[in-house]
A and B are shown apart, each in its own frame.
Chain A
Amino acid sequence: MSFIEKISPLQLDILKEIGNIGAGNAATSLSAILNRKIDMNVPNVRIVSFDEMIEMAGGADHVVASVFLRIEGDASGSMFFVLSLPLAQYLIRKMAGDETFSIDSTPHAELALSCLQELGNILSGSYLSSLADFTQLNIFPSVPSLSIDMVGATISYGLLELSQESDAAIVIDTVLVKDQLLADSIDGHFFLLPDPDFFEIIFGALELTAYD
């Protein structure tokens, strides 16, 4: 039996709460950087096939900007900050202070890519530090790496660890929207893809703290 079939509804709720707290903190950071309101939806925790996971991020062919990092320390996993190209362009313009930047003209300037990578670093840092506080575990992000390419090509990296044990993934997905009016065209996803041993460690840590 795969580890995924052993997950209980209560445990799924805990994962959802992790997504809620983590992405909430990240949204606050993003809001502070941009100095404007950021909306966030309630996280979605789903058990999906690899193909469904790729569909969630927009489909295998869809081009997105994704910041990918590995979670290391007591518990491990993969994390993606996936941005639609209009959102990536908006964020780079704001952060680099260059209103003429266009995501369509390649190759992209080093500075622009660096901005996006740094943004991914800050946001995933706030996501993970809240997760670390919540669970009292020592977890930290690797240096993030950025790729502007097809969803299938980038997201599959987060599935490699899992694919050795299972044909399905548990994904904690939180959607960030800049504001409601532009929700269709401008969105960003946080995907947390825990490695198989993540669950035992996280749930173990939470049980211990509950009895303290």
Chain B
Amino acid sequence: MTELLKVEVVKVGIADMKIVKPPCSIRTSGLGSCVGVVVYDEKKAVAGLVHVMLPDSSLSKTGQINAAKFADTGVRELVKRLVKEGARMPFLKAKLAGGAQMFQFASGGDLMRIGPRNVEAVRKQLADLHIQVVAEDVGGNSGRTIEFHLHDCLLNIRTVNKGTKNI
């Protein structure tokens, strides 16, 4: 790494969400069918990342819900927290990555094809909130580790066999 500033990396686990401000960057590792959604306000320098597993909270069979697990509740909760941290709704932008199909099954239920459904659900939720998706890297069959840097608002995406890129 050739970074001059020593920046702390905030890590987001599976079905988890966090908010960062400079000089921190925010990262989530090993996205498969899950989707990593970064929502940020560039001018206010605040960004949040949610690592969603499932498309819709109606899939939950229990009462209490971990909002970060589902695309619908996760995106909404993330935006709410960002606004609380000073972000402005009309200036929010989003970048997303993930939603891959890691295993090929001839049969198998809906859950085996969860990746594309997650992506679709995240896009719909962002559209409902009028948040523009400025970049995305979704689908395929590779796991992704993503890291978002606030100073240039670039999302770094690392895969095992397909190299690294910034979107």
Contacts and interface: CB of A to CB of B under 8 A. Distances in A.
Interface of A: 2, 50-51, 54, 59-61, 63, 68, 70, 106-107, 142-143, 145-154, 156-157, 159-161, 163-167, 196
Interface string B33-47: 110000000000000
Interface stretch (B2-10, B106-114, B125-133, B149-157): B106-114
Contacts of B16: 51
Contacts of B69: 163, 167
A154 B161 contact: no
25 contacts: A60-B14, A61-B30, A63-B160, A70-B108, A143-B106, A147-B141, A149-B32, A149-B102, A149-B142, A150-B30, A150-B160, A152-B29, A152-B31, A152-B143, A153-B31, A153-B32, A153-B100, A153-B143, A156-B14, A157-B32, A157-B103, A159-B53, A160-B33, A160-B111, A164-B60
Given A2-B62, A70-B108, A149 B160 contact: yes
A144 B114 CA distance: 18
Contacts, number: 105
Contact of B102 (A60, A154, A163, A196): A154
B105 A61 contact: no
A164 B61 CA distance: 6
A165 B53 contact: no
> Which DSSP category, helix, strand, loop or mixed, fits chain B's interface?
loop
Interface of B: 13-16, 28-34, 53-54, 59-62, 66, 69, 100, 102-108, 111-112, 114, 141-145, 160-161
A117 to B, nearest CB: 11
Contacts of B161: 106-107
Given A60-B29, A142-B105, A160-B53, A153 B144 contact: yes
B107 A142 contact: yes
A84 to B, nearest CB: 14
Given A150-B145, A153-B102, A167-B66, 10 more contacts: A68-B103, A143-B106, A149-B143, A149-B160, A151-B30, A153-B30, A153-B100, A160-B33, A160-B114, A165-B62
Contacts of B107: 142
Nearest to A152: B30
B53 A156 contact: yes
B54 A160 contact: yes
